[in-house]
Amino acid sequence: QWDRVLNRLRAEVGEAAYRSWLKPLSLLSGNDSFIRMAVPTRFMRDWVAGNYQDRIQVLWLEEIGVPAQVEIVVQQPVRPVPKPALVDVVEAPTPVVEAVSERLVVDVPNLSTEVVHEAEVQRITAPLDPRFTFDNFVVGKPNELAYAAARRVADAEAVPFNPLFLYGGVGLGKTHLMHAIAHQIRTAHPEKKVIYLSAEKFMYQFVRALRIKDTMSFKEQFRSVDVLMIDDVQFIGGREATQEEFFHTFNALVDQNRQVIISADKSPSDLEGVEERMKSRMGWGLVADIHPTTYELRLGILESKAEQLDVVIPQKVVEFLAHKITSNIRELEGALNRIVAHATLVGRSITLETTQEVLHDLLRSNDRRVTIEEIQKKVAEHFNIRVSDMHSSRRARAVARPRQIAMYLSKQLTSRSLPEIGRKFGGRDHTTVMHAVKKVEELKSTDVEFAEDIELLSRMLEN
Ligand code: ADP
Ligand code: MG
């Protein structure tokens, strides 16, 4: 089974990437729904997890027909790796920090004897945005797993996995996918009761039910649905009473084999102020993360939105936007709408100049580049030395070379001057930095493997 997946992956990524990243993967254990693989270094683990893990999950889903959790662990190889500087240590398990939850004081004033009417309760579900459909969703590497999982849930006749947990940063398409699932199910099965609401609204409804002393009908309403979607579940963090209720609702639905779909800005285990049992329960189905956008995805989205708006935007402007607005899809969309609105308003066509003018403020806030501190941290991690060695005066090759590489990357990836970079490396002189840059360039031109390492590091840093 794994071989089938691996072969498809190999065909997709090409021989070179296959040999560097996929061939060294060794399958430790696995069944239909769980695969554990080992790689020799932490660096490789990060790389494979960042670049191939989602694809592996997608291919697995397609080939085997069931979702699998993929786990990649670091395990030292039996033979020493030829380049000692790159050998990483086997990781110690990270201690689990227990989140401390704040108690929610539910204030239950005895004010109302209001009755919850049936019609009112039906309004529990929030309205769906008609534009948030699968057709309007542009699929790329960062969101392909989440998309595949969402489609599966929407199209499957029986519950394929429960719950589906979607997570990712703001403005990356979680809500869009949830609405798309709801549209799809409602169209195919109008008889099904599909409820979509934010965790905040869930909380509000619950607190309100407590207040009017009608938790019974609240419970019934939620427990009789076919599909329950709770968006932005991180908001229940720290609210104990709401969590408790949500947990019961969740369990009742899953036990009855009703589909539950949850979104959050973090993975289940990283949610703050959420009980352990709840976190672990939410991770039982399929957990799919949506990654930050790539240039290709941003291009695709701009093209698709321009078509929807029925405007022609010069290719130069499209590329400029895709390069500059990297924060999230919501901002990208907002930027496009703004330049289109401006052009319509002043009755002129869209140019690069007007774009820069109109988006002045937005462009500045998106101009976040990597910092020297981040470079030092990543490089130190990569070579398994201490960050403090970046500032120290030790000259041993094992620390001097990584330090030079970090200086080189600081020059390439930030807009800092040589003296500024020198200061950040323990107050070194700008000539030292210049020397480091030259040295690394020289090594890059003579040593292919070294050049590849530097290339990888800088790509990891830029992401
Ligand atoms: P989130 O819920 O993750 O914060 P949203 O789902 O609200 O993000 O998405 C923000 C905006 O970006 C929405 O207008 C949505 O339609 C759009 N969007 C997000 N992802 C995509 C995508 N892959 N293709 C097209 N539009 C997208
Ligand atoms: Mg959202």
Q: Which helix (H) or strand (E) holds 463?
A: none
Return d(Cα 358, Cα 349) in angstroms, integer: 13
**336 contacts 300 by C-beta, under 8 angstroms:** no
Considering the four listed CATH numbers 3.40.50.1980, 3.40.50.300, 1.10.1740.10, 1.10.8.60, the one that applies to the domain covering 295-365 is 1.10.8.60
Q: How far is the CA of 316 from the centre of ligand 1 (A)?
A: 24
- Tell me if 403 CB under 6 Å of ligand 1: no
pLDDT at 165: 97
Q: Which ligand is closest in space to the CA of residue 197?
A: 2
Task: Write the CB contacts of 262 (distance below 8 Å, at least 6 apart in sequence).
Answer: 163, 164, 165, 166, 229, 230, 233, 282
Question: Are the beta carbons of 49 and 26 closer than 8 angstroms?
Answer: no
* Intervals of CATH 3.30.300.180 along the chain: 2-86
User: Does 240 contact ligand 1 (Cβ within 6 A)?
Assistant: no
ipTM > 0.90 for the complex: yes
Sign, Cα dihedral of 420, 426, 431, 434 = negative
Task: Answer whether 173 contacts ligand 1 (Cβ < 6 A).
Answer: yes
2-86 maps to CATH 3.40.50.720: no
Domain with CATH 1.10.1750.10 in the chain: 372-462
Q: Which ligand gives the minimal distance to the CA of 199?
A: 2
Ligand 1 mutation pick, 176, 293, 298, 304, max ligand atoms within 8 A of CB? 176
What atom of ligand 1 comes closest to residue 172's alpha carbon? Answer: 3
414 carries a ligand binding annotation: no
* Residues 6+ away with beta carbon under 8 Å from 311: 340, 343, 350
As given in the structure block, the two tokens for residue 450 are: 């070294």
Token code pair at residue 30? 């696995």
Average pLDDT for runs of 10 along the chain of length 463: 86 77 81 81 75 84 81 65 35 34 31 34 76 96 96 94 95 97 95 92 84 82 91 91 90 94 95 92 94 94 94 93 90 94 89 91 74 93 93 91 95 83 94 95 91 85 71
Instruction: Kindly state the DSSP code that residue 293 receives in the 8-state scheme.
Output: P
pLDDT attached to residue 264: 97
d(CA 199, CA 238): 13
173 marked among binding-site residues: yes
Residue limits of CATH 3.40.50.300 in the chain: 118-290
How do beta strands 34-39 and 26-31 pair?
Answer: antiparallel
Amino acid at 330: R
Residues 359, 331 contacting (CB under 8 angstroms): no
Contact between 149 and 200 under an 8 Å Cβ cutoff? The reply is: no
Q: Is the CB of 301 under 6 A from ligand 1?
A: yes
pTM of the predicted structure, to 2 decimals: 0.63
Closest-CA residue, ligand 1 atom 13, reads: 330
Question: How confident is the model at residue 459, as a pLDDT?
Answer: 76
Fold of 118-290: Rossmann fold (3.40.50)
Topology of the domain comprising 372-462: Chromosomal Replication Initiator Protein Dnaa; Chain: A; (1.10.1750)
User: Residue 296 half-sphere exposure, CB side, CA atoms within 13 Å?
Assistant: 5
Determine whether the annotation assigns residue 171 to a binding site.
yes
Q: Measure the CA–CA gap between 437 and 443, rounded to whole angstroms.
A: 10
Those residues with Cβ within 8 angstroms of residue 15's Cβ, 6 or more apart along the chain or in another chain = none
